[in-house]
Structure formats: structure tokens, C-alpha cells
Amino acid sequence: MPEKLNDFSRLCIHTMTTKPWSLREAIDGYVAAGVPGITVWRQHLEPYGAREAGRMLRDSGLKVVSLCRGGFFPATGAAAREKARDDNRRAIDEAAAIGAPLVVLVCGSSPKQPLAVSRQQILDGIAAVLPHAKEAGVRLSIEPLHPMYADTRSAVNTLEQANNMVTAIGSDFLGVTVDVYHLWWDPMLEAEIKRAGRTILSFHVCDWRVPTRDLLNDRGMMGEGCIDIPKIRGWVEREGFKGPIEVEIFSDEFWAQEQTRLVRRIKNAYLQHV
Ligand code: ZN
């Protein structure tokens, strides 16, 4: 077991966790609650534009942990794949503009072709946009998604696959994101976290509700599900990861609630169950 968290210095919240809030409201809400870190989703950036959002974030004093999300590389046509790469280059530029050191990749998948083909297209796509990332000083991080999303969201479903891609490409600007929601079930998780070592660039937490009522928007608050979050945090920290702990919860239930109270609840759960 890792040491219990005793303050909020590493706490980061994803703007998707408080989805009903605009970026302005999220910034103000996190600052008021003493939450030091923010991961910005592109849909929250859009209404302001990256320049204006960057100014707001710098003025707030919040630490911008990452931009979510790039990826979605696979497609059956070459033109569509090129379009996806361009969109990733734009995401990298946006990350640079808001001071985010990292773009998290939800790699994508197409049900119209074999998974192996999608996986190759992901590898090729990452390799194609990496020079742009390097130039911008922004890292890319492969986030494996739970296999239930292998049809359309990501053909990268285990940390082993993500590690293999990082090894194949071999760049300081590429690493992995460990999200407990996607990876908690994997019997190889501890070994693959060890293998990832210093290439672990970010760490996402929430919980797995039992039963899960919706495959996308029913993630649980830390402590209300069956994931042993402290254990996984211990594995990640054993490899030297001491970065932000990012609360990323997609939940229709929580989005319907008053968001200031939700942030308070997140803070309590963070100290008790992370
Ligand atoms: Zn995540």
C-alpha cells in the first residue's frame, strides 16, 4: 500500500468530470475549491479558442496537466486517415497554446476493418504526428481503453499493447497513460506497469460501478466500485510516477448534480479512496 494522500497538492480534475461547466466555470470552480490541477477537454476549449483559453488558464494559476484528447487514427480511407493526423497536429498546437505538456491519445478503431489493421494505422498515425509534437514540445500519451470500446473508440486495449507501441516507436515524446477504469481487470497490469516504468506520463482515476448501467457514462466515484485504486497507485508510484492524480468521471448521474457539490465530493473521495 502506498502512503495515504494527505493533501490536495496532486489533485487534478478533468473538465469532462464537470461537463456541465464551461471552461470559465470549471476554472473558477476548481480554484475556489483549492483543486490545483486541470485537464482540459477540447470541447471545453472550443468556445474560447486555444489562445483565449490559454490566457484564462495562465491567469488562474491552475496547473494544466494535459489536453484530452487526440487519437482516432484508424479509418478505411487514406484521406480520412490524413484528416485525422491533421486534427492531431491541431490538438498538439492547442496543447502548446494552453500550456499543456501532454496530449492524451484515445487511439480509435474502425469496426469496418480487422483490429490488427486499426492497430497498424494507430502506430503509423502516431509516428506521423510525433515530429510535430516534438517541435511543439508536447508529449503524446497512449491511453489503453477497456476492451468494451474496441469497436469504435480504441483498438489499444491493454497496457501491454500500449507498451509495445512505445517500444516500437522509441521516442522520448511518447509514453502511456494508466487509467484504472480501463485497466483494473488485467492480470498483467502490475507487470506491464513495471515494464512501462518512466514512460508512464499520466494517471487517471474513478471507479467501476457494480453493476455498470451504461457502458460510457456510468463511471463511479472513487470508493463506490470494485477497483483497488491505492494498490494500482502504489504500482505506478513504485516506478517513480509522482505526478498529478487525475479524476476523470463520465457520469450522467453526477452531471445532473450541482457541480460545486460534486467537486466537494471528489475531494473527500480522493483522500479516502485514492
Ligand atoms: Zn482516462
Which pLDDT value is given to residue 64? 98
Task: Return the C-alpha cell found at 6.
Answer: 494527505
The rounded Å distance from CA 203 to ligand 1 centre is: 8
pLDDT band at 2 (very low <50, low <70, confident <90, very high): confident
d(CA 45, CA 157): 27
Distance 220 CA to ligand 1 centre (A): 13
Give distance in angstroms: CA of 204 to centre of ligand 1.
5
Q: What is the distance between the alpha carbons of residues 273 and 228, in angstroms, rounded to a whole number?
A: 9
Residue 174 phi/psi, 5° resolution? Answer: -130, 135
Residue-wise pLDDT for 148-180, tens only, equals 999 999 999 999 999 999 999 999 999 999 999
- 69 alpha carbon – ligand 1 mean position (Å): 10
* 4 inside domain: no
φ, ψ at 15 (rounded to 5°): -60, -25
In a domain, 1, yes or no: no
Q: How many CA atoms lie within 13 A of 272 on its CB side?
A: 10
pLDDT tens digits along 93-136: 999 999 999 999 999 999 999 999 999 999 999 999 999 999 99
Total tally of structural domains belonging to the chain = 1
| Mean pLDDT for the stretch of residues 239-260 | 98
Domain around 255:
11-273
Are 216 and 246 in contact, with CB atoms under 8 Å apart? no
For the residues 200-214, what does the mean pLDDT come to? 97
Q: Is 133 helix (H, G, I), strand (E, B) or coil?
A: helix
* CATH number, domain with residue 222: 3.20.20.150
Please name the residues in contact with 178: beta carbons below 8 A apart, sequence gap of 6 or more.
159, 193, 196, 200, 202, 203, 204, 232, 236
pLDDT class for 147, splitting at 50, 70, 90?
very high
Is 191 inside a domain boundary?
yes
As a whole number of angstroms, the longest Cα–Cα distance in the chain is: 51
Which cell is 228 given?
483497488
**Separation CA 274–CA 268 (nearest Å):** 10
Q: Name the pTM for this structure.
A: 0.98
Average per-residue pLDDT for the chain: 98
User: Is pLDDT above 90 for 138?
Assistant: yes
Query: For residue 230, what pLDDT is reported?
Result: 98
191 C-alpha to ligand 1 centroid (Å): 20
- Region 20-30 average pLDDT: 98
Asked if 157 and 145 touch (Cβ cutoff 8 Å), the reply is yes
CA of 48 to the centre of ligand 1 (A): 24
pLDDT for residue 1 is more than 80 = no
Q: What is the mean pLDDT of residues 60-87?
A: 98
Burial class (CB in 10 A: 0-12, 13-18, 19+), 147: middle
Cell of 108: 480509435
User: Does any domain span residue 5?
Assistant: no
What residues does the ion ligand 1 have nearby, CB within 5 Å? Answer: 179, 204, 248
> How far does residue 103's CA lie from ligand 1's centre (Å)?
12
Cα–Cα distance, 11 to 84 (Å, whole number): 31
